[in-house]
């Protein structure tokens, strides 16, 4: 498959380098955006750090994953007291607004479909 048609997790190069450094990994190479194992690891760690920063609030964390933390920090200062739907509608970037809506819709769908389903691969037997 030609490189141009492959897809990758959308972790920007600078973010990938920063997350890799935090995880004690070597800096990503030009071919690493096409390694699903590494992309999932970097993307999950980055999202976890955003969730921690926003104290578990999914909407600003997902928005920051798309638009960048600096931008969303400002939006959060301006609109953070709004309810979830109003905050999303107040996002100035249409692309980020649509991204957050899509991610949350899929997330909620997966929660409904997989609630109570056994999780394979867990070593601790937990949820």
Dihedral angle sign, alpha carbons of residues 94, 55, 68, 34: negative
* Cα–chain center distance at 85: 19
Interval 71-86: pLDDT, tens: 999 999 999 999 999 9
Who contacts 13 (Cβ-Cβ below 8 Å, separation ≥6)?
A: 28
- Whether 42 shows a pLDDT value over 50: the answer reads yes
Q: Which residue has the higher pLDDT, 27 or 105?
A: 105
| SS3 label, residue 16 | helix
Read off the pLDDT band of 20 (50, 70, 90). Answer: confident
Query: In sequence order, what DSSP letters do the residues of 84-124 get, joined into one string?
Result: HHHHHHH-S-HHHHHHHHHHHHHHHHHHHHHTTPPPTT-SS
Q: Which residue has the higher pLDDT, 40 or 88?
A: 88
């Amino acid at each position: 498959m030609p490189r141009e048609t492959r897809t990758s997790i959308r972790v920007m190069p600078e973010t990938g380098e920063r997350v890799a450094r935090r995880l004690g990994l070597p800096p990503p190479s030009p071919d690493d955006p096409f390694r699903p194992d590494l992309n999932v690891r970097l993307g999950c760690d980055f999202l976890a750090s955003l969730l921690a920063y926003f104290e578990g609030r999914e909407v600003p964390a997902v928005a920051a994953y798309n638009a960048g933390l600096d931008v969303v920090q400002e939006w959060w200062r301006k609109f953070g007291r709004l309810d979830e739907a109003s905050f999303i509608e107040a996002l100035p970037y249409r692309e980020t607004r649509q991204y957050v809506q899509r991610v949350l819709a899929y997330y909620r769908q997966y929660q409904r479909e997989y609630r109570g389903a056994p999780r394979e691969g867990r070593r601790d037997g937990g949820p």
